[in-house]
Amino acid sequence: MTGATNTRTEDFTAVLNLPASPESVSALFTSVAGVSRWWGPTEGDGAVGGTLVTSFGDHGANAMRVLAAAPTRVVWESIALDGTTPTGHTQEWLGTTMEFDIVAADTGTELRFRHAGLTPQLECWDACVAAWTYFMASIETFAKTGTGTPFGA
């Protein structure tokens, strides 16, 4: 993984250079099957206005409202969803957004990730940085081998 930012004042960001087409990278964030390949078992609808719910077993689930689902930019907003057991960090994540910018590059695709609102001031910062670092590596592994390392795999 290249360029993970762990400064003490800014949102968590990461930049990945992936040996995959922009279309295949975009599909990792706009479909239930795609999200399940790198993050964890997911249900819902990856279209704009839809909700994606990713299960982390006994740890609960993350629910995301899809704000944008274009080929070059996907944005999710963390929400609380009735009928699900939220993860321990859900309260801190509420209203934060996960932004995936997908840019064609010479060798495939550059993925620019930003979790806007996930800053060092949050109690979950260290655990969330470790988790996002792990899941960014899962995306990288999926792009290289066709198999990611999602939760529960």
Q: Which domains does the chain have, with CATH numbers?
A: 2-145 (3.30.530.20)
pLDDT of 51-61, one tens digit each? 999 999 999 99
Confidence (pLDDT) at 8: 53
Mean of pLDDT over the chain: 93
pLDDT of 127-153, one tens digit each? 999 999 999 999 999 999 999 999 988
pLDDT of 65-96, one tens digit each? 999 999 999 999 999 999 989 998 888 999 99
Burial of 126 (0-12, 13-18, 19+ CB in 10 A): exposed
Distances (CA, A) of 145 to 37, 97, 149: 12, 28, 11
Q: Is the pLDDT assigned to residue 6 strictly greater than 70?
A: no
- Identify the residue with better confidence: 55 or 4: 55
Confidence (pLDDT) at 101: 98
Q: What whole-number percentage of the chain has pLDDT above 90? A: 86
Q: In the predicted model, what is the mean pLDDT of residues 102-126?
A: 95
Residue 65 in tokens: 């409202």
pTM of the predicted protein model: 0.91
